[in-house]
Amino acid sequence: MRITFHGQSCFEIHHEQTKLIIDPFLNGNPLAKATPEEIRADYILITHGHGDHVGDAVEIAQRNQATVIANFELANWFSFQGVQQVHPMHIGGSHVFDFGRVKLTPALHGSGFVDEEKKEIIYLGMPAGLLLEIGGRTIYHAGDTALFSDMKLIGRNNGVDLALLPIGDNFTMGPDDALLAAEWVGAKHVVPMHYNTFPLIEQDADAFIDALKKVNIHGQSVQPGESFKI
C-alpha cells in the first residue's frame, strides 16, 4: 500500500482500489502540497474535533460521496454539516469495513470546534487514536495524544507494523515521550507527525529518528507531499 503524508496529522492511504484519508487538514496548512480539490477518498477518518484535524473533511466527503468515520458526537456533527454518509464509533469499539478493520483507541487531550464569531466551543466527543488493519498490516495513528501507559496494551494486543506518532510537544507528546510510545507500542516502523506546521511545534525530526535507531526501531522522516510504502 502507498501512504502519503500531507503535513500535521494528515495521511492518505491507498490500498488496491480503496482510498482513505486521515485528518485532512489542507487549507490553512502551510506545509500541505495538495489541495482539497485534488483528494480522492472513499473513507475519511477523523481522530478528534480540532480544526487542524477536521480540516477540509466536509468538502472532501461531499465531493467524493465518502464515508466519514469518527466518534459518535463528531460523526453526528458531520451529518449536521451536510455529510450524507457517516459511521459513528467510540473508544474501544471496532468495526469491519470493506477495506479492513478500524478500532478507536484512547487519546489524552481535548476535542472541540471553536466558533470565533460566537466565542463558543462546541464539544465534539472524546478524542481517539486509530488502529487500522488493512492489507495484512496494522497501522496505529495516535492522534494528538499525550503519552499514556496503556500504550503498552496496544503493543501487547496488536502487532503494530507502522506507528504514526506526534512529536511536536506543547499540544501533544514531544520527542522524548514519543520515543517511549514507540517502544511501548512495539512498532516495527515509526513516522513522526504533528510537528513543524507552526513555530510553536517546531522539532528536529532527524534527531527523533536517530533516537529511534538507538533502541532498534526503524524510523522515517517523511516530508509533506512525499509517499512511502509498507
pLDDT digits (tens, 9 = 90+) for 68-113: 999 999 999 999 999 999 999 999 999 999 999 999 999 999 999 9
Find out whether 139 and 191 touch, Cβ atoms under 8 Å.
Answer: no
Instruction: Give residue 67's pLDDT.
Output: 98
Looking from the CA of 88 toward its CB, the CA atoms found within 13 Å total: 11
Does residue 171 lie in a domain region? yes
Instruction: Give residue 148's pLDDT.
Output: 98
Instruction: Give residue 172's pLDDT.
Output: 98
SS (H, E, C) 128-197: EEEEEEECCEEEEECCCCCCCCCHHHHHHHCCCCEEEEECCCCCCCCHHHHHHHHHHHCCCEEEEECCCC
Find out whether 189 and 218 touch, Cβ atoms under 8 Å.
Answer: yes
- Count the neighbouring beta carbons within 10 Å of the beta carbon of residue 65: 11
- Record the cell numbers describing residue 16, joined without a space: 488496491
Residue 182's pLDDT band (boundaries 50, 70, 90)?
A: very high
- Count the neighbouring beta carbons within 10 Å of the beta carbon of residue 115: 10
Q: Domain of 123?
A: 2-219
Does residue 225 lie in a domain region? no
Does residue 41 lie in a domain region? yes
Instruction: Give residue 213's pLDDT.
Output: 97
Instruction: Give residue 159's pLDDT.
Output: 94
CATH of the domain at 129: 3.60.15.10
Give the whole-angstrom CA distance, residue 72 versus residue 74: 6
Give the whole-angstrom CA distance, residue 135 versus residue 185: 20
- CA distances for 58 relative to 1, 14, 102, 114, 154, angstroms: 25, 20, 20, 16, 30
| Per-residue model confidence as pLDDT tens digits over 21-78 | 999 999 999 999 999 999 999 999 999 999 999 999 999 999 999 999 999 999 999 9
How many separate domains does the chain show?
1
Closest to 136 measured CA to CA, from 115, 161, 114: 161
Does residue 226 lie in a domain region? no
| Per-residue model confidence as pLDDT tens digits over 198-227 | 999 999 999 999 999 999 999 999 999 999
User: What is the pTM (predicted TM-score) of this model?
Assistant: 0.97
Average pLDDT in the 182-188 region? Answer: 97
Instruction: Give residue 161's pLDDT.
Output: 98
Instruction: Give residue 42's pLDDT.
Output: 98
Instruction: Give residue 120's pLDDT.
Output: 94
Give the whole-angstrom CA distance, residue 218 versus residue 225: 21
